[in-house]
Amino acid sequence: MSRPDPRNVKRIACIGAGTIGGGMVAQFLASGYDVIAQDPGKDAHDSLERLLDQAWPILERIGLQPGASRDRLRFTKDIEEAVADAEFVQESVPENLELKVGIYEKLDHLVPASIVIGSSTSGFPMTEIQKRCRYPERTVVAHPVNPPYLIPLIEIVGGEKTDPAVLDWATDFFDAVGKRVLRMENEIYGFLINRLQIALFREALQMVAAGKASVAQIDDCLTHGLGLRWACMGPFATFHLGSGDRGLGDFMDSFGRGAEWRAPYVTETPLPEWTSELREKIVRQAEEVINGRTIPQMIEERNETIIGLLKLREASRINASKNVA
């Protein structure tokens, strides 16, 4: 089956133009595509234009791609009109499984089998969404982070019947769009983004409900603490720096030996059994992330990033205060 060249797509259909769908419209327009947006909502067109009014100045600051223009957008309430001649379809209807299954069944009949259809679903596995499709092999989850036009990451994962070649195609396509593609090999509810953020939010809810912390304290913990570190490196790289010059292996050994103090941190999700195989797997995969950098180099990178973020945040607050005044 001949699919369009993923790096030479010209025309995209966006089905659903709410917060996420509209954000994807903005992203595609800023990347230089022709976009036709479809949404049956009474005020959907006006809402989309308001979203673009907010997003476009930001996109101009980031840097528009050649050919980027809001004039390349068309809007329709008719789904058949929207997908006519589309070389890629991005579905972003409300997060209702039966609604998505029905939309995919309809798209399956309207869109040629060679055209890939992606879903912005934030949690439903593609296996469930594609279940009534005649051509499920061309369906894939393409889950962005809100706002899609500002946050670069997008998760790509297929269902049981998705062709691996479609995952390759979607990866190349979104790379051309300008996204940072996180390609998942295994399908799980919530994917990675929401599994991680909901786990943290669940802990926050537990502490607030128990009267152990306030909303303000938890927000400060992230915005003035963990969030600053996570802007430049994830938890494994962070803990690699947490044992001085001994690295992640030493930290993981200490963590494994400390099973008795790990228990109080666990609420809903039990920790996995600590084994030498798990330790070696984590260290081996972390080495790929570290990519030969020394601990002093990583410390310097972290420090410079945090300094830049602190200065940027202070400058933003000063500017905001001036605008209010």
| 156 and 258 co-located in one domain | no
In a domain, 218, yes or no: no
In a domain, 290, yes or no: yes
Residue 24 neighbours by CB under 8 Å, 6+ apart: 14, 90, 92, 120, 144, 148, 149
- In total, how many domains does the chain have? 2
| 54 and 149 co-located in one domain | yes
In a domain, 191, yes or no: no
| 152 and 237 co-located in one domain | no
| 126 and 257 co-located in one domain | no
- Tracing tokens 């050919």 back to the chain, one arrives at 67
| 22 and 147 co-located in one domain | yes
In a domain, 1, yes or no: no
In a domain, 5, yes or no: no
| 44 and 106 co-located in one domain | yes
Give the C-alpha separation, 259 to 71, whole Å: 59
In angstroms, what is the C-alpha Rg of the chain? 22
| 177 and 235 co-located in one domain | no
Mind giving me the DSSP string for 55-119?
HHHHHHHH-PPTT--GGGEEEES-HHHHHTT-SEEEE---S-HHHHHHHHHHHHHHS-TTS-EEE
| 146 and 73 co-located in one domain | yes
Q: pLDDT by residue (tens digit) across 266-283?
A: 555 667 777 888 888 888
In a domain, 119, yes or no: yes
| 235 and 167 co-located in one domain | no
Tens place of pLDDT per residue across the chain (325 aa)? 699 999 999 999 999 999 999 999 999 999 999 999 999 999 999 999 999 999 999 999 999 999 999 999 999 999 999 999 999 999 999 999 999 999 999 999 999 999 999 999 999 999 999 999 999 999 999 999 999 999 999 999 999 999 999 999 999 999 999 999 999 999 999 999 999 999 899 889 888 988 999 999 999 999 899 998 898 888 888 888 877 778 888 877 876 665 544 555 555 566 777 788 888 888 888 888 888 888 889 888 888 988 988 998 888 878 767 776 5
Q: What is the pLDDT of residue 246?
A: 80
Q: What is the pLDDT of residue 275?
A: 83
In a domain, 84, yes or no: yes
State which residues form the domain around 254: 231-324
Q: What is the pLDDT of residue 34?
A: 98
Handedness of CA 210, 211, 217, 221 (dihedral sign): negative
| 164 and 257 co-located in one domain | no
CATH value at residue 35? 3.40.50.720
Give the C-alpha separation, 38 to 76, whole Å: 5
Q: What is the pLDDT of residue 98?
A: 97
Q: pLDDT by residue (tens digit) across 225-275?
A: 999 889 888 888 888 887 777 888 887 787 666 554 455 555 556 677 778
In a domain, 219, yes or no: no
Identify the burial level of 229 via C-beta atoms within 10 angstroms of its C-beta, where 0-12 means exposed, 13-18 middle and 19 or more buried: middle
| 38 and 156 co-located in one domain | yes
| 251 and 173 co-located in one domain | no
Q: Are 26 and 55 a contacting pair, CB within 8 Å?
A: yes
Give the C-alpha separation, 139 to 158, whole Å: 7
